[in-house]
Each structure stands twice: as C-alpha cells, then as structure tokens.
Amino acid sequence: MIRTQPQTTARGLTLVIGVLVALGVILIYSSSSVLMLQKAQDPTRFLRKQLLFVVLAGSSFALARHTRLTTLRKHAWHILGLTALLLVAVLIPGIGMRVNGASRWIPLGAFNVQPSEIAKLALPIFLGAYCSGRREELGSFKGALPALGAVALIVGLIAIEPDVGTALLTGCVSVAILLAAGVKLRHLLLCGLPGLLGMFVFAFTKLDYIWRRVNAFMHPAGSPEAYQTNQSVIAIGSGGMFGVGLGASEQKRAFLPELHTDFIFALVGEELGFLGGLFVLGCFAALILLGLRAVERAHDEFSMLLGLGILLALGIQSLLNLAVATQSVPPKGIALPFLSYGGSSLMSSGLAMGVLVRIAAQGRPEETEPETSSTPESAPAPA
C-alpha cells in the first residue's frame, strides 16, 4: 500500500512552483507593458510570449514527472553527449547566435535555445548515473577520472562561450555531487585547481567587462557599470513595507533596463514591498526544504545524487540573483528561476523540477510500491 509521505512532498513542490510561475507572469506583464507602450508597441507582447513559455515549461515538467528515473540513468551517456554537441554547436558561426560578444544561444525559429541551461540538468544526471554504486571505486583517482573529465568538458565549453558565471555555478554543483558520491577532495583539487586557475586567467585577461563589473561593485557611486544595481537598490528601498502597488512602479519606466529579466526581484520590492519580497523568499525557502526532504528520502543513490544536484543549482542560482539585485555581489546576468522572463530558463527549470518531483513521489523503497520496469533502480550504471 502506498503511503502518503512521498506524495505530500511531491504535491507541495508542485504547488510552490505553480505559485512562483503565476507570480512571474503577473510581474512580467507589469514590468514590460509600460515600456512597450512607450515604444508604441503591443503592451502584451512579453506577456503572450511568457504564457507560451509557461505552456512549454509545463509540458516539460509533466514529461519529466512521468519519466522513469531508470530511463534517465540508462541514457545518461547519451544525454551528456548531446549536451556537449550543443555546447560545441553554439560556438560555430552560422549556428550559434552571438549577442554582446557571447555565443550562448542557438536560434530555432521563434525560439532561442541556450545549451548551458540544459547542461545544468544533464551533468547531474550523468554524474548521478556514473557515481551511484561506485563509492569504493571513486576513492581512487582512476575511478573518479571519467566523472572529473565530464565536468571539465562541460564547464570548459560553457566558460569559453563566454559565460563564466554559469560555468562556475555548474562546476560548484558538480563538485558537491562528487563529494557526496565519495570522490576524494585531494583528487578534486588536483584536477580542479588548474582548471579554475585557467578560467580566472582567461576571464581577467580576455573579458574586460569582468574587471569593470568588479570595479563597479567596489566603487558603485557614479560608475556606469553599476547603474542597474544602483537603480535596483533604489527600487527595492522605495517599496517600503507594503510596496507602491502592483503596476505602479516608477523604475519600469525605462529607469531600470531589463527589469523583466535579471532584475525582476527589484520590481517585487518596489511594487509589493518588504512583505512581497518576504513572500518570494519564503516560496524559495519552501522549495529548498521540500527538496531536501525529497533528497533525504530518495529511492536510491542515483536519485539522491541527482536530486542534490538539482536542488543545489536552484538554490545557488536564486541566491546569486537576489545578491546581484541587492548589490551584495558584483553584477552577473543570471535569471531568477520561475520569475524572470525567458524560455530556456523556464523550460530547463520545468524539466529539473519535474525530475525532482518524480524523486519526491518515489520516496524510499519501503514507502512506495516498486515501479514495474525491466531495469531496476539499483541497476549498475552504463559503462
């Protein structure tokens, strides 16, 4: 007989995700409609596109929610290989789309696919599949080498787009998964430190904008690079306890560019106030707590490692976005999951959360009925 604990966690995760996505749609319309009217364009343009993204993300969520974890594990190598090919393709002129000096998107008709968003899920799937059941083998450098090589490949391809922030995020999540799986810290340092040093040398010698952003963070007064974060702090501070009211923001009248993307939390602070910001933070905290419960009660080691990776990616990305919006770290273009405008981010989040809800719904072996499958969850990972 199926017990209710796993299903309760799964339903809780689904509910919180739904609330955040609905709030995001409202905020995107509020932030973009006035700007579109000022440009004499359709005020519902971004709203309609985001609603389409929500439908696609919902479909991705449902697909992942009903995909057997054994299927993901079985095809982990194929998923990793396809992701690597997409990350290579985005660097090829004529295939990848270059914007502001970075090649991060592949245009597909009306949509732009961002392979680095796919990598945030693909790499944890591979690492979970490879590492589960190999704890003793991973204690040696030879046993850990394939996993370390996969991380170096994917993180390196993301870094040279260039997208150093996403590369560091993906690398940190991967390191946490490997440590949880039993990889020795000295082996991680042996491979990771040279790569990390190379990434920083590349960033600070070839990417001048990183120097400018760090300087703007250290000296924000009067710095053009700090304009957005300065305006973000003004927006959050002007909201007070209860906000100026939904739709009444002044910053969205072209004072804070790209308000509907990376700085959507500034709009929360201005229009909904401290209480609105606290509500959003509470929703993310609930996601993390429910996700931790799902990871703790995961069906097997593969599910645990995969869930851990998804949860860490969500948590770190959310914290980074909030830190940038509050001028707590140097500026970095990174979306706030479920709230920011964008198709790739929302769809990849939908896929990841669908997998996490699947992990939560399965629970421990003694809590749920076993799935009917020719490949048990504890089957060895593909060679």
Q: What are phi and psi of 2, to 5 degrees?
A: -75, 130
292, two tokens: 């931790």
Q: Measuring CA to CA, which residue among 201, 103, 77 is closest to residue 157?
A: 103
Q: What is the pLDDT of residue 329?
A: 85
Q: Average pLDDT in the 39-43 region?
A: 78
Q: Average pLDDT in the 55-59 region?
A: 95
- Tens digit of each residue's pLDDT (9 = 90 or more) over 262-274: 899 999 999 999 9
Distance CA 348, CA 319 (A): 18
Contact residues for 281 (Cβ-Cβ < 8 A; gap 6+): 322
Distance CA 267, CA 256 (A): 10
Per the CB < 8 A criterion, the answer to whether 157 and 88 are in contact is: yes
10, two tokens: 């799964």
Burial-class residue 26 by CB neighbours within 10 Å (0-12, 13-18, 19+): middle
Largest CA distance in the chain: 65
Per the CB < 8 A criterion, the answer to whether 341 and 27 are in contact is: no
Q: What is the mean pLDDT of the chain?
A: 86
- pLDDT tier at 349, thresholds 50, 70, 90: very high
DSSP states of 100-149: TTEEEEEEETTEEE-HHHHHHHHHHHHHHHHHTT-HHHHTSHHHHHHHHH
pLDDT value at 16 more than 60: yes
Q: What is the pLDDT of residue 222?
A: 67
The single-letter DSSP state of residue 374 is: S
Per the CB < 8 A criterion, the answer to whether 33 and 254 are in contact is: no
DSSP states of 212-263: HHHHHHHS-TT-GGGHHHHHHHHHHHHTTTT-S-TT--STTTTTSTTTTTTT
- Tens digit of each residue's pLDDT (9 = 90 or more) over 239-259: 999 999 988 888 888 788 778
CB atoms under 10 Å from CB of 383, counted, come to 6
Distances (CA, A) of 314 to 161, 218, 310, 326, 348: 22, 27, 6, 18, 11
The number of CA neighbours under 13 Å toward the Cβ of 366 is 1
Per the CB < 8 A criterion, the answer to whether 128 and 89 are in contact is: no
Between helix 273-296 and helix 5-38 the angle, nearest 10°, is: 140
Burial-class residue 68 by CB neighbours within 10 Å (0-12, 13-18, 19+): middle
Q: Average pLDDT in the 172-185 region?
A: 93
The reported pTM is: 0.88
- pLDDT tier at 308, thresholds 50, 70, 90: very high
Distance CA 17, CA 5 (A): 19
Q: What is the pLDDT of residue 230?
A: 85
Per the CB < 8 A criterion, the answer to whether 275 and 239 are in contact is: no
Q: Average pLDDT in the 204-225 region?
A: 71
pLDDT value at 284 more than 50: yes
Q: Which amino acid is at 252?
A: K
pLDDT value at 369 more than 50: no
Q: Measuring CA to CA, which residue among 284, 273, 265 is closest to residue 246?
A: 273
pLDDT value at 383 more than 50: no
Q: Measuring CA to CA, which residue among 81, 106, 84 is closest to residue 95?
A: 106
